[in-house]
Structure 1
Amino acid sequence: MEFQSIITHMNDHHQLELIGLLKKFGQIHSPQDTKLLSVDALGMDIGYDGSKSLRIEFPQKVSDGNMREGLKNAIIEMCQSIPKTLDIQAVQKDIEAFINACGSVIISSVHASGEVVCSYAPLLRGNGKYYIYISEVSEHYESLRANPKNVEVMFLEDESKAKSVILRKRLRYKTEVTFIERGEEFENVFDNFVADNGGAGGIKTIRNMMDFHLVGLEFKKGRFVKGFGQAYDIIDGKISYIGGDGNPHKIKK
């Protein structure tokens, strides 16, 4: 069998890691007779409980160069992700870094007519708070005015940076919004916006357009999805791993 030495090594020396992978990706908490059955450029198959097996895909296809070395590194990366999944402090840092890397957010809001509006807006920061800056001309202005407590905000990883189109990192919050009057808070927040992005591209111009409004974001319940088997709920600022109630996905047998 191709790559049999990798399979033998995993089965002889890494039983705990195989069990950990079953728990993380399949929510299989007490597997018996665990063993790596096969591995290829796309993923691996782990057997357990006699005749059962779980297919686990790699985040990226292993390149055709040095296939053996590539497979080894892919498996190591998967195994190293197991303890990181439950490291809530590290997840908190990931969330903070992810937010800090985003210059805009996706907004889902509800118009007074009941229609859902999907849009985006630049993200502004100040005094540990987050804001967006929107025009009265934009469609989401009316929906945010009409339903300020029924809003969702999403931070979404750029496709070009994601390992796969189905593995884009995302952070979503139920959100309440507040329109901020022009004054000291407005000036401080916009000063930060200019400092972070420069004044070109119309940024300085829209500062003095009176149909533009600064809108404060108050994040409520959230969800952070980092990748396969790495989803977290955020409630009252507390992060919890989603993975204790069984695999939510239905897999074709």
Structure 2
Amino acid sequence: MNGMAASDKIFKLLDLPEATGKTAEPDADCAIRCRDLHFGYTEEKETLHGLNLEFPRGSFTALVGESGCGKSTIAAVLTGRAAGYTGSVTIGGRELSTVKESALLQNVTLVSLGSHLFKGTVADNLRIANRNATHEQVIEACKKASIHDFIMTLPQGYDTPVGELGSTLSGGERQRLGAARAFLHDAPHILLDEPTSNLDSLNEAVILKSLAEERRDKTVVLVSHRASTMRIADRTYSVENGRMS
């Protein structure tokens, strides 16, 4: 039954028409802005209600609120995973609906609650973010994500297989590898959706400090329900029932 449900989703995806008319290239020096943003997963129920947000370049912004308030939906809209919004969403000075998928992937990095890992080595899974990364760059990204020391304890270090879907790793270790991917990708806009939910306070602090340093030439948006994120952010938006409060 699980296989049939998954197959149904795959075939629906394959049947989607090819995106056309998207030609815009974002400007990395521009902010992310939302103006009168409305969105609903169904026509009957709206999730986001007229939001006005701005995430300037060089800033670290936190979106905080209780579970189910709409924080992750905002991240989904900003990364193009939730289409059909009304209002205006601009990334790099370009309306999101006109930005090419390849350009969006190049300019925006998303770190979600569950980082997907594939059969292969630790290094293979990290280089998904940057195929041309040197070993030194991979190590530097892992240090920023507080995962390098753990990797060095593995039997083959960076060449250790992680198993199907990262089955040999804990949830926190997978999360830190996801954060390392973000640092390795080095995109101008970084969106993180509960990236430290499975981490202890020490590892969380290392990653947050690294993200704060990254904001010097990037736009960093962190979705979290943890109060600790508010202390390190430049600005904080509180989301409640799909509205800003």
* TM-score, normalized by the shorter chain, greater than 0.5: no
Higher helix share: 2
Provide TM-score, normalisation by structure 2: 0.24
User: Which protein has the larger Cα radius of gyration, Structure 1 or Structure 2?
Assistant: 1
Higher strand share: 1
